[in-house]
């Protein structure tokens, strides 16, 4: 609490100095790619990066909330796949497309609430509970589609991916809306205080009359809601139900969250840094693509840079803590 009060009183200079290191790294990367590759810094390419990052961005907001409670949600990627499958399947069966979307998102919220219940009431480590859920949802998606993709055409898919408002594609607006919603929930409501409390002293919370089980369930359900929205946007982009489209996304979301400065140890951090974390991953991938690095080497290069970024972040944080200690 005191730290948030302190930051609000800081001047702009202090704020810039205390930005997560990932922001600096992001700027350096963009600068490097702009020099090495002509047309990199073009508006169309930057817009492209933003557009590609939307689904993971929304998913990473969800993961950030879970990491703030000192957990990780390994089922988020499978929730995305599940939503694409369920939405397309229901639409194919004749359910009106908007109703089908609502049902699909509701289903992932239910999966999230189950995660939260298992973690809070069953006292299962989040890692294991959500890994179990990942298996279950992945399996259901495969069963619903008989192992392959299912296709369905509806103009709404094209509308979502191609509509541009004020030079910015609609999915980016949706991501911005999700950011705003999550930010308000996290910093302006009791629910948000509870989320951050879950990562801190739970005993104190429960003594203060907060229902721990309910808070966990709400947090995981909200993560499920965000995963659902990410899934809907993904479905619009691939125009089909893909049972394995989200495989591994949960871990990329964890990486983005950590790069953004949310800590697995102290319940510190927030979703603003996560944006920079996600952008770092996509700027890297896009930059390597545009500058013609073979796909074979990309995985290792991104891995090494992510590792370096995490190490640099750690060292910078530590030296900052030391300085504060001196004051």
Partner 1 sequence: MKKVIDKIRSTKSFYSFVSLIAMIILFSFLSPDFRTFDNAITILRQASTLLILSTGLTAVLVSGSMDLSVGATAAFIGCVCAQLLKMGVPTVAILPIGLALGVVIGSLNGFLISVVGLPSFIATYATNWVVKGLSIIVMSGAVIYGLPEGFTWFGVGYIGPIPVIIIIAAIVVTIAYVLLQKTTWGRDIYAYGSNPDAARYSAVNIKKTIFGSFIMCSMTAGIGGLLMTARLNAAEAAMGDAYGLQTVAAVVIGGTSMLGGEGGVAGTIIGAVLLTVIVNMMNLLGISSSAQPLVVGIVIITMVLIDTMSSSGMDKVKKRLLKKEA
151 forms bridges with which residues in the sheet?
A: 240
Quote the least distance from Cβ 242 to partner 1, whole Å: 14
CB 55 within 8 A of CB 230: yes
Identify residues 49-78 at the interface with partner 1 (CB under 8 A). Answer: 72, 74
Tell me, residue by residue from 227 to 266, as one string, x for binding to partner 1 by CB under 8 A and - for no binding.
Answer: ------------------------x--xx--x-----xx-
Closest to partner 1 by CB, 136 vs 156, is 136
Q: How far apart are CA 259 and CA 27, in angstroms?
A: 14
Quote the least distance from Cβ 127 to partner 1, whole Å: 7
Closest to partner 1 by CB, 192 vs 241, is 241
Quote the least distance from Cβ 136 to partner 1, whole Å: 4
Q: Which stretch binds partner 1 (CB under 8 A): 89-97, 179-187, 202-210, 290-298?
A: 290-298
Identify residues 115-174 at the interface with partner 1 (CB under 8 A). Answer: 118, 122-125, 127-129, 131-136, 138-140, 142-143, 146-147
Q: How far apart are CA 288 and CA 15, in angstroms?
A: 31
The helix (run of H) or strand (run of E) holding residue 150 is strand 150-151
Q: In the chain, which ranges are continuous DSSP H helix?
A: 2-9, 12-17, 21-36, 43-68, 76-92, 97-120, 126-145, 155-162, 170-188, 190-198, 202-207, 212-238, 249-259, 271-290, 295-326
The pairing of strands 164-165 and 168-169 is: antiparallel
Quote the least distance from Cβ 95 to partner 1, whole Å: 23
Q: Which stretch binds partner 1 (CB under 8 A): 52-60, 83-91, 269-277, 291-299?
A: 291-299
Q: Which stretch binds partner 1 (CB under 8 A): 52-60, 88-96, 169-177, 298-306?
A: 298-306
CB 260 within 8 A of CB 277: yes
Q: How far apart are CA 142 and CA 138, in angstroms?
A: 6
The pairing of strands 150-151 and 168-169 is: unpaired
Quote the least distance from Cβ 295 to partner 1, whole Å: 8
Residue 150 phi/psi, 5-degree rounding, is -120, 140
Closest to partner 1 by CB, 18 vs 299, is 299
Interface with partner 1: number of residues (CB under 8 A): 45
- Applying CB under 8 A, does 13 fall inside the site for partner 1? no
List Cα–Cα distances, 189 to 20, 61, 64, 73, 261, in angstroms.
25, 17, 17, 23, 22
Tell me, residue by residue from 301 to 320, as one string, x for binding to partner 1 by CB under 8 A and - for no binding.
Answer: xxxx-xx--xx--xx--x--
Binding site for partner 1 (CB under 8 A): 72, 74, 118, 122-125, 127-129, 131-136, 138-140, 142-143, 146-147, 251, 254-255, 258, 264-265, 296-304, 306-307, 310-311, 314-315, 318
């Amino acid at each position: 609490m005191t730290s948030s009060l302190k930051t609000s009183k800081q001047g702009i200079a202090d704020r810039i100095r205390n930005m997560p290191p990932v922001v600096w790294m992001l700027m350096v990367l963009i600068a490097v790619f702009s020099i090495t590759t002509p047309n990199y810094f073009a508006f169309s390419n930057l817009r492209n990066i933003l557009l590609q990052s939307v689904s993971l961005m929304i998913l990473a907001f969800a993961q950030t909330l879970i990491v703030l409670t000192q957990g990780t949600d390994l089922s988020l990627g499978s929730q995305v796949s599940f939503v694409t499958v369920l939405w397309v399947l229901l639409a194919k069966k004749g359910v009106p497309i908007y109703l089908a979307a609502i049902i699909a998102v509701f289903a992932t919220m239910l999966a999230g609430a189950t995660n939260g219940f298992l973690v809070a009431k069953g006292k299962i480590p989040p890692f294991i509970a959500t890994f179990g859920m990942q298996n279950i949802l992945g399996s259901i998606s495969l069963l619903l589609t008989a192992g392959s993709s299912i296709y369905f055409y509806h103009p709404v898919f094209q509308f979502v991916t191609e509509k541009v408002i004020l030079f910015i594609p609609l999915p980016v607006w949706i991501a911005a809306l999700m950011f705003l919603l999550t930010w308000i929930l996290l910093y302006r409501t009791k629910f948000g205080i509870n989320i951050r409390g879950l990562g801190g002293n739970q005993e104190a919370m429960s003594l203060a009359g907060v229902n721990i089980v309910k808070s966990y369930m709400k947090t995981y359900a909200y993560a499920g809601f965000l995963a659902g929205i990410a899934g809907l946007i993904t479905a619009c982009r691939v125009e089909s139900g893909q049972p394995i489209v989200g495989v591994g996304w949960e871990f990329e979301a964890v990486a983005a969250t950590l790069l953004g400065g949310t800590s697995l140890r102290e319940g510190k951090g927030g979703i603003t840094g996560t944006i920079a974390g996600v952008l770092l991953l996509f700027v890297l991938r896009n930059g390597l693509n545009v500058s013609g690095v073979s796909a074979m080497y990309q995985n290792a290069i991104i891995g090494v840079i992510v590792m370096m970024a995490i190490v640099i972040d750690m060292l910078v944080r530590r030296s900052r803590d030391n300085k504060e200690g001196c004051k």
